[in-house]
Chains A and B, each alone.
Chain A
Amino acid sequence: MIITVASGKGGTGKTTIATNLARTIAQKGEGENQHPIWLIDCDVEEPNSALFIHPVFEEEKNVERLFPIVDQDACIGCGKCVDVCAYNALALVADKILFFKELCHYCGSCALSCPEDAIQEKAETIGVLQRGKSDALNFAHGTLEIGFSSATPVIRDLKKWIIADDTPNGDTYILDASPGTACPVVESLKGADFALLVTEPTPFGLHDLALVWELIDKEFQIPTGIVINKSGRGDEIIENFSTEKDVPILMRIPLSRDIAEAYSKGDLLVDAYPQYKDAFIDLYKKIEEITSERQREQ
């Protein structure tokens, strides 16, 4: 089962929910010969789950993509590569090709279109993937290299590296997505069985929750549940949304100075306050119930 934790708005507590949920269910099944539990931090622009999980990394892998190199002497200035580039990464100026690497999506069209074979492609590392363990929990994340702007291919390779195509049903993958609703979030939601949306009871929280819900409703139609973090004042606006869209609220974490202090020290909530373990086990059970119910319906 693949559970993607998303939120729309940043800072609502995606990482708090993803790390505590993953840690709790991995601990619970420890020694019981359970299927592997994975936490995958897909926020490759600012991966921070590792700060709370403290994994020991065992393997590393580079994410590479092919970028064009133009042989200006062989170039005849026909401009075909400029015309085919869908991302405006090339310009033809005074019979020379100018290349803007930060706009390139490494599709290879320019090299294919060149009648003179004046464009070669060279592999460059755009990100690094790492995987390892933290006690019973398997952990992986990716980091986008400095100077590159496109997170999506790093997330794509990270998922391909960890989530095998022939995944046995019992394996659990918890994906910590980046904020927003753009391509990196879409990539993190692809193939997910359940979307767990973390929000806060503020107008901003609601606004961005609605955006990410709309994305899931339009593009994925997977079972979805809400976690209200910093709960206690103004929950009604999220409750109204939950009723209106028929998305259940599965968990609430109160707005509390103690919880914020534990977070600021890099402590997991379930380590600082073990009474929350039951709440996370309960959350996981609800997710399992909802997804298996959906599978039966199909």
Chain B
Amino acid sequence: MQIAITLSDNKGLESTLSPIFGRCPFFMFIDPETKEFIIEENASQSASGGAGIQAAQQIIDKKAAAVISGRLGPKAHSVLLAASIPAFKSEGGSVEETLEAYKQKKLTSLIEPNADAHSGERNA
């Protein structure tokens, strides 16, 4: 089982979690137990519109079981919801810390979107 984490940089397990979803630079797909991972560029980070939707599509196509990010806008949220992929909020920090918090079920579940549409454009 792999989960997706939004990243600000590409430094393997030393990478920093990205607070934004649709326009984050990288996605990590990682097995929380074995810590086997791959990092992919977010293909829609500079899309003129609909970045959140396509980012969610990328995660769905990878068959990730969950998503961890800082913020999630309404459109990306509805796509992940339709795919029954749960999303969790992390305040930031390293991949290791985030994974640990995820395994101990300390992350807040994003049952509702917690960002406005287009907020990633301003805060990228």
Interface residues of chain A, those whose CB is within 8 Å of chain B, are: 82, 87-94, 96, 98, 100, 103
Q: Is the interface of B mostly helix, strand, loop or mixed?
A: helix
Report the bound CA distance from A82 to B56 in whole Å: 13
Contact of A103 with B79 at beta-carbon distance under 8 Å, contacts A82-B57, A92-B57 already known: no
Chain B 39-87 interface residues, beta-carbon cutoff 8 Å to A: 44, 47-51, 53-54, 56-57, 60, 75, 78-79, 82-84
> Which residue of chain A lies nearest to B78 when distances are taken between CB atoms in the complex?
A98
Chain A residues whose CB sits within 8 angstroms of the CB of B56 once the complex forms = 91
Contact among A88, A92, A94, A96 for B49, CB-based, below 8 A? A88
Residues of A within 8 A of B51 (CB): 88
Bound CA span A94–B57, Å: 11
Chain B 79-117 residues near chain A, CB threshold 8 A: 79, 82-84
Is B79 a contact of A91 with CB atoms below 8 Å? Answer: yes
Residue of A nearest to B51 (CB): A88
Residues in chain B near residue A103, CB distance under 8 A: 49-50, 53
Closest to A105 in B: B49
- Interfacial chain B residues near A89, Cβ < 8 Å: 50, 53
Select one of B44, B47, B82, B84 contacting A98, CB under 8 A.
B82
Query: How far in angstroms is the closest Cβ of chain B from A184?
Result: 16
5 nearest A-B pairs in the assembled complex, by CB-CB distance = A88-B50, A93-B82, A93-B83, A88-B54, A103-B50
Residue ID in chain A nearest B82 by CB atoms: A93
Chain B residues, CB < 8 A from A87: 48-50
Contacts of A92 in B (CB 8 A): 57, 60
By a CB distance below 8 angstroms, the chain B residues around A91 are 53-54, 56-57, 60, 79, 82
| Set B44, B78, B83, B84: member contacting A88, Cβ < 8 A | B44
- Excluding A87-B48, A91-B82, 16 further A-B contacts by CB distance (< 8 Å) are A87-B49, A88-B49, A88-B51, A89-B53, A91-B53, A91-B56, A91-B57, A92-B60, A93-B57, A93-B79, A93-B83, A94-B82, A98-B53, A98-B82, A100-B50, A100-B53
- Residues from chain A with a CB closer than 8 A to the CB of B78 are 98
Closest residue on chain A to residue B80 by CB atoms: A93
- CB–CB B82/A96 < 8 A: yes
Complexed CA–CA distance, A103 and B76 (Å): 13
Task: Name the distance in Å between B35's Cβ and chain A's nearest Cβ.
Answer: 28
How far apart are the CA atoms of A228 and B53 in the complex, in Å? 44
Chain A residues contacting B79 (CB-CB under 8 Å) are 91, 93, 98
Chain B residues with CB under 8 Å of A100's CB are 50, 53, 75
CA distance A88 to B51 in the complex (A): 7
Closest to B83 in A: A93
The answer for the CA separation of A88 and B23 in the assembled complex, in Å, is 13
Closest to A149 in B: B49
Complex contacts, B57 vs chain A, CB 8 Å: 82, 91-93
Contacts of B48 in A (CB 8 A): 87
Please, how many angstroms separate the alpha-carbon atoms of A100 and B54 in the complex? 12
| Distance between Cα atoms of A86 and B50 in the complex (Å) | 10
CB neighbours (8 Å) of B49 from chain A are 87-88, 103
Q: List 9 A-B contacts (CB under 8 A).
A: A82-B57, A87-B49, A88-B50, A88-B54, A91-B53, A91-B54, A91-B57, A98-B82, A100-B75
